[in-house]
Chain A
Amino acid sequence: MAQWEKILVAVDEGETTLRALRYTARMAAAMGDVSICLLHVYPEPPPDFYVNGGQLADYQAAKEKRAEMIFAQGERILFEAGIRPARVQRLVHLAAGRSISQVVLDVQKEGDFGTVAVGKRGVSKAEEFLFGSISNALARHSNRFTTWVVG
Chain B
Amino acid sequence: MTDWSLFPPHILPKLRDHYAVKSMRRAPKLFGDTSNFTSIDYGDVLHVGDRYLLVVGYTKEGRFGIDEQPKQWVPKVYDLESGERKIAKLTFHETYTVTIGHLEVTCYRSPEKEARVIELVKGNPYFMQGYSSQDQAGNLVRVLDVIQGQRLDKHLENLGGTHREYFDSHCKKILSNFLESVRGISLLHAHGLKHGDIRRDHIFVDHADGRFRWIDFDYDFYLPERPFALDLFGLGNVLLFILGRKNFRPADILNDPDMGPEVFAGLDTGDLSLVAADRVFNIRKIYPYIPKCLNDILMHFSAGTQVMYDSVDEFHDDLVACIDRI
Contacts and interface: CB of A to CB of B under 8 A. Distances in A.
Given A132-B223, A134-B225, A46 B103 contact: no
A63 B211 CA distance: 46
Given A99-B226, A100-B225, A132-B229, A47 B113 contact: yes
Contact of B224 (A48, A99, A127, A129): A99
A143 B304 CA distance: 28
Interface of A: 43-44, 46-48, 51, 95, 97, 99-101, 125-134, 137
B224 A100 contact: yes
A126 B95 contact: no
Given A125-B274, A125-B305, A46 B229 contact: no
B106 A130 contact: no
Contacts of A101: 225
Contacts of A132: 223, 225-226, 229
B108 A47 contact: yes
8 contacts: A126-B101, A126-B103, A126-B275, A130-B223, A130-B229, A130-B233, A133-B225, A137-B225
A109 to B, nearest CB: 19
Interface in B213-262: 220-227, 229-230, 233
User: What are the 10 closest A-B residue pairs judged by CB atoms, nearest first?
Assistant: A132-B225, A43-B224, A132-B226, A46-B222, A47-B108, A47-B220, A126-B275, A99-B225, A130-B229, A48-B108
Contacts of B105: 130
A151 to B, nearest CB: 18
Contacts of A130: 100, 103, 105, 223, 226, 229-230, 233, 275
A66 to B, nearest CB: 16
Contacts of B230: 130
A126 B230 CA distance: 11
Contacts of A48: 93, 95, 108, 110
A125 B223 contact: no
Interface of B: 93, 95, 100-103, 105-106, 108, 110, 112-113, 192, 220-227, 229-230, 233, 274-275, 303, 305, 308
A130 B192 CA distance: 17
A46 B96 CA distance: 13
B169 to A, nearest CB: 34
A15 B192 CA distance: 32
Nearest to A133: B225
A43 B226 CA distance: 11
Contacts of A133: 225
B303 to A, nearest CB: 7
A130 B231 CA distance: 10
A103 to B, nearest CB: 10
A128 B221 CA distance: 16
Contact of A131 (B101, B102, B112, B226): B226
Contact of B308 (A44, A125, A134): A125
Nearest to A100: B225
Contact of A129 (B113, B227, B233): B233
Nearest to A132: B225
Nearest to B194: A47
Contacts of A99: 224-227
Contacts of B112: 51
A126 B106 CA distance: 16
A46 B105 CA distance: 12
Nearest to A101: B225
Given A127-B103, A130-B226, A46 B274 contact: no
A95 to B, nearest CB: 7
Given A46-B106, A47-B108, A129 B226 contact: yes
Contacts of A131: 103, 223, 225-226, 229
